Amino acid sequence: MELKLAFIGFGNVARAFARILTDRKSPFNRDFDLSWKTTAIATARHGCITSADEIELMRAVNCVESGDNLSEVGGSIPANDPTSVVQNCDADVLFETTPLNISDGGPAVTYIRTALSRGINVITANKGPVAFAYSELKELAEQHGANFRFEGVVMDGAPVFNLVEKCLPGTRVVGFAGVLNSTTNLVLTEMEKGRSFEDALVEAQRRGIAEANADHDIDGWDAAVKAVALANVLMDCDARPADVDRKGIREVTADSLVAAKASGRSVRLVSRGRREGTDVRLTVALEIVPLASTLGGVRGTSNALIIETDLMGELAIVETDPGVDQTAYALLSDLIVVHETLNRRQKH
Ligand SMILES: NC(=O)c1ccc[n+]([C@@H]2O[C@H](COP(=O)([O-])OP(=O)(O)OC[C@H]3O[C@@H](n4cnc5c(N)ncnc54)[C@H](OP(=O)(O)O)[C@@H]3O)[C@@H](O)[C@H]2O)c1
């Protein structure tokens, strides 16, 4: 099966994904009978293009990385803006990888709504749409026979949503606890070694893992949005980031971290969700946890999530030193799931 792909957002994640697609074209064709061609790419400052035939993906990658406009890519047709691309593109799957908008998830929510309404399958790595509009987008996808997938929004390509959906049928998630924000975890780990808060944050920014606005990490917003995404998808909740009882890491002192470590413990920013009657209580806060526990042992940029279920007890997922390639892998794993769904549909 050949799928037509559109990209809304062509930044670090989408370009890493484009490289994987290019490198793995032959094996995926052979192993999954899956091939693809790119028909549209939209960005904020690097232009928007479509093609009636095929856009050469690596030429588009090179173009953006050289700071050129995508209209330089031969054989492409310039489009006015991302909205017109979403409204008019000829695509089976749309990859939405625009930046997180912490206020309301827009304009990603609108892009995804438009694409799903057109029956286009959507795969996103953007937390915003799942935290601000999950139930609406899920329903819209069902109405239009499309897939809405988002494995990359929590812990990159580590299976979280797919694990529960595919491997834990019949179980009910009753709670979770996770160290989910790499920037704050790196800052805390570096401070344990005696580094200042400011130095440790500069280190996170130097490694390119901090949000464009690092306050979103430090004040616990990123961890809160991820908690909401987990609750909405895994616990059938309809929460918003403002519902999270949230504290960041601004108040932490190097002395408290060093003292915790000396007593076999560590201080971690933990996102929690817990079913309380018909509600789900969501918190993000610093916690003192044993160094030898799943959450206490997470160092640097690594992440961990413990999922508590009614029938399978607790399961832990640990991701070591994730980078942009792991997020790109999330898009790939979702693409394969979409392909399997379309294949099954075609056979019936
Ligand atoms: N980086 C990671 O490791 C990681 C991990 C997990 C999840 N994510 C999520 O994945 C998404 C993409 O991350 P990234 O690192 O690839 O971001 P990025 O490098 O900043 O790329 C964002 C892309 O979106 C485009 N864009 C910005 N505003 C837009 C708008 N209003 N309409 C259409 N396009 C727009 C940008 O255009 P220009 O190229 O013209 O600027 C750029 O191509 C984000 O939501 C992020 O939170 C990232």
The pLDDT tens digits for 113-143 are 999 999 999 999 999 999 999 999 999 999 9
The percentage of residues in the chain with a pLDDT greater than 90, rounded to a whole number, is: 91
Nearest-atom number in ligand 1 for the CA of 330 is 6
CB within 6 Å of ligand 1 — which residues? 8-14, 42-46, 82, 97-100, 107, 125-126, 152, 156, 324, 327
Nearest-atom number in ligand 1 for the CA of 153 is 7
Residue identifier of the C-alpha nearest atom 18 of ligand 1: 11
Cα of 46 vs centre of ligand 1, distance in Å, is 12
- The residue-averaged pLDDT of 277-306 equals 96
Distance CA 116, CA 65 (A): 30
Nearest-atom number in ligand 1 for the CA of 64 is 39
Cα of 204 vs centre of ligand 1, distance in Å, is 18
**From residue 178, how far is each of 71, 191, 273, 322 by CA, in Å?**
43, 20, 9, 15
Cα of 113 vs centre of ligand 1, distance in Å, is 18
* pLDDT category of residue 328 using cuts at 50, 70 and 90: very high
Cα of 8 vs centre of ligand 1, distance in Å, is 9
Q: In what order do the strands lie in the sheet with 148-149?
A: 77-78, 48-55, 35-42, 2-8, 93-96, 121-124, 148-149
Looking at every residue in the chain, the average pLDDT score rounds to: 95
> What would the two tokens of residue 301 be?
């940029």
Nearest CA among 245, 256, 246 for reference residue 188: 256
Residue 264's pLDDT is what?
Answer: 95
Q: Which residues are catalytic?
A: 226
If one residue of 12, 70, 180 were mutated to test the ligand 1 pocket, choosing by the most ligand atoms within 8 A of its CB, it would be 12
Tens-digit pLDDT profile for residues 132-172: 999 999 999 999 999 999 999 999 999 999 999 999 999 99
Cα of 30 vs centre of ligand 1, distance in Å, is 31
Tens-digit pLDDT profile for residues 239-284: 999 999 999 999 999 899 999 999 999 999 999 999 998 899 999 9
Residue 175's pLDDT is what?
Answer: 98
Nearest-atom number in ligand 1 for the CA of 324 is 3
Nearest-atom number in ligand 1 for the CA of 45 is 40
Nearest CA among 271, 217, 273 for reference residue 102: 217
If one residue of 19, 43, 65, 213 were mutated to test the ligand 1 pocket, choosing by the most ligand atoms within 8 A of its CB, it would be 43
Residue identifier of the C-alpha nearest atom 15 of ligand 1: 12
Distance CA 168, CA 154 (A): 18
Nearest-atom number in ligand 1 for the CA of 10 is 43
The distance in angstroms from the start CA to the end CA of the chain is: 15
* pLDDT category of residue 211 using cuts at 50, 70 and 90: confident
Cα of 43 vs centre of ligand 1, distance in Å, is 9
Residue 48's pLDDT is what?
Answer: 98
Residue identifier of the C-alpha nearest atom 32 of ligand 1: 44
Tens-digit pLDDT profile for residues 60-105: 999 999 999 999 998 899 999 999 999 999 999 999 999 999 999 9
If one residue of 186, 327, 333 were mutated to test the ligand 1 pocket, choosing by the most ligand atoms within 8 A of its CB, it would be 327
Residue identifier of the C-alpha nearest atom 12 of ligand 1: 97
Residue 252's pLDDT is what?
Answer: 93
Cα of 44 vs centre of ligand 1, distance in Å, is 9
Residue pair 102/108 in contact (Cβ under 8 Å)? The answer is: no
State pTM to two decimals: 0.96
If one residue of 97, 122, 151, 205 were mutated to test the ligand 1 pocket, choosing by the most ligand atoms within 8 A of its CB, it would be 97
Phi, psi for 294 (deg, rounded to 5): -60, -45
Residue 199's pLDDT is what?
Answer: 94
